[in-house]
Amino acid sequence: MAILEHTLGILLHPDKEWKAIRNERHSFLQVFISHVPFLALIPTLASYYGVTQVGWVVADGEPVRLTAASAMSLCAATYVALLAGVYLLGEFINWMAKTYGVAGSDEERHYEGTALAVYVSTPIFLAGILQVYPDLWVNALATVIAGAYAVYLVYEGIPILMNISKEQAFMYATSVVTVGLVMMVIVRVGSVLVWGMGMGPVYVD
């Protein structure tokens, strides 16, 4: 139930929810395992359904779909990448904590860094439900909106969750957003390289 409360709360009343998250004292592993593996299934399963059952249309042609085996391997790789991405973002946030004056023990900062990465990724995971209809423009718009709200959550959440001044929090949040963007670019480039090695999608004839 706590997962659902934080998931909805971070969207509906982020200020109140960040304070509640700050007052919890779980291990970084608990906050990660109790949240990310479940929400990461949303874009993964939606994508699998969309590319195998619905397909996408190029110009005025017939819908293009992937084979079940191809979609399964690509979606599995995406799922692992999502888990790794959130984990690494949390580690970067934790690594930068001392630089920006975050007080507390290493364990407390580790929880806070992971919690921030976990909850700011929530809108992006939820937007992934639209992958059931793999239209480029629909999904691009949803990603932009979800990404913008995630950035807002970073700037809103850091001064509350980390309990630091707004001046420190602004620079900290900007660094976090920059790291997130760099990671996104790395994932995109990595996808192109993997496809180039012959592991790309297989289409239904």
pLDDT tens per residue across span 125-146: 999 999 999 888 888 899 999 9
- Give the E-state strand segments of 11-154 in sequence order: 56-57, 63-64
Q: What is the average pLDDT value for the chain, to the nearest integer? A: 85
- Whether the Cβ atoms of residue 47 and residue 131 lie closer than 8 Å to each other: yes
The answer on pLDDT for 5 being more than 70 is no
- Whether the Cβ atoms of residue 151 and residue 177 lie closer than 8 Å to each other: yes
- Whether the Cβ atoms of residue 89 and residue 58 lie closer than 8 Å to each other: no
Contacts of 170 (CB under 8 A, 6+ apart): 155
Q: DSSP 3-state assignment of 154? A: helix
Percent of the chain with pLDDT over 90: 40
- Whether the Cβ atoms of residue 178 and residue 35 lie closer than 8 Å to each other: no
Stronger pLDDT, 185 or 11, i.e. the higher one = 11
Domain boundaries, the chain: 2-196
What is the reported pLDDT for 1? 43
- Whether the Cβ atoms of residue 159 and residue 77 lie closer than 8 Å to each other: no
Q: What is the pTM of this model?
A: 0.89
Average pLDDT on 50-55 reads 90
